[in-house]
């Protein structure tokens, strides 16, 4: 297991280094984050009282967009350099590759979320009326739910036609329970009206089920030809 985790760390480190070096990618993602928040602010009036009710949904839809863009990017780079074939031939367990990719994506999307959140708070004058600390497990579990399936489906869509549209097409339906949980948990915490606990439990179950499935099936999907 130590070889595998060593591999995971190495791959992850490599991915993070690459992202950090390609300043273009980071700059464009920063700008993208800002744009998303601004567009949403124009579309959904932040001054209305209903803001607090819908903010939960808005924020997560914005995060979903960011996640899809990030996910499409990360595999595209691998494809360009035919790194995928190298992975297939190597004796490394496919799980290490998957975990590294998923963790890398998670960090990437988490950074985007960290950038967008203060902007949303500012534009929508958000304040958590419920237990604000709960937002952290919600964000973490929710982001992982999107990223773990997203990484898996991105790998599945690699050789398909219309690759970029294929990822959201596959990801969105399966993610609906997780999305429902994320949005309702966030709304519950922001409005303080209901308990987010049951949604957090649902998110945790979702994460466990799908992380396990991804780890079990990734090897099969990688060698699917």
User: Using the rule CB under 8 A, which residue among 26, 54, 194, 204 binds another protein?
Assistant: 194
DSSP 134: G
Q: Which of 2, 43, 82, 161 binds another protein (CB under 8 A)?
A: 161
The 10 Å Cβ neighbour count of residue 71 is: 29
Nearest distance from C-beta of residue 54 to another protein, angstroms: 14
To 5 degrees, how large is the angle CA 200–CA 136–CA 20? 125
- Looking at 115, 180, 204, 215, which residue binds another protein (CB under 8 A)? 180
Residue 150 C-beta: closest distance to another protein, Å: 12
Q: What's the min distance (Å) between Cβ of 152 and another protein?
A: 8
Structure tokens at 34: 């800002």
Distance CA 168, CA 12 (A): 24
Least Å distance, CB 203 to another protein, is 9
Q: How many CB atoms sit inside 10 A of residue 19's CB?
A: 20
Q: What is the DSSP track for 193-224?
A: SS--HHHHHHHHHHHHHHHHHHHHHHHHHHT-
Checking phi first, is residue 127 left (phi over 0); if not, alpha (psi -120 to 50) or beta?
beta
Question: Does 156 interact with another protein (rule: CB under 8 A)?
Answer: yes
Q: Which is nearer to another protein, 74 or 157 (CB)?
A: 157
Among 44, 177, 192, 215, binds another protein (CB under 8 A): 177
3 state SS of 143: helix
For another protein, the binding residues (CB under 8 A) are: 149, 156, 159-162, 166, 169-170, 172-174, 176-178, 180-181, 184, 194, 198-199, 202, 205-206, 209-210, 213, 217, 220-221, 224-225
């Amino acid at each position: 297991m130590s070889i595998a985790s060593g591999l995971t760390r190495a791959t992850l480190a490599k991915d993070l280094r690459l992202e950090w070096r390609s300043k273009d990618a980071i700059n464009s993602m920063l700008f993208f984050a800002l744009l998303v928040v601004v567009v949403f602010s124009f579309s959904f009036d932040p001054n209305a009282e209903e803001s607090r009710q819908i903010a939960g949904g808005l924020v997560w839809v914005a995060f979903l967009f960011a996640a899809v863009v990030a996910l499409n990017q990360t595999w595209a780079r691998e494809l360009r350099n035919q790194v995928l074939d190298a992975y297939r031939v190597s004796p490394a367990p496919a799980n290490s590759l998957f975990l590294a990719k998923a963790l890398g994506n998670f960090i990437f999307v988490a950074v985007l979320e960290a950038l967008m959140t203060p902007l949303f708070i500012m534009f929508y004058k958000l304040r958590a009326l419920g237990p604000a600390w709960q937002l952290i497990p919600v964000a973490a579990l929710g982001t992982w739910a999107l990223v773990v399936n997203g990484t898996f489906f991105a790998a599945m869509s690699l050789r398909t036609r219309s690759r970029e549209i294929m990822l959201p097409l596959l990801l969105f339906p399966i993610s609906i329970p997780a999305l429902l949980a994320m949005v309702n948990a966030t709304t519950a915490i922001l409005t303080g009206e209901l308990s987010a606990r049951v949604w957090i439990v649902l998110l945790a179950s979702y994460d466990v089920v799908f992380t396990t499935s991804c780890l079990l099936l990734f090897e099969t999907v990688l060698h699917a030809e």
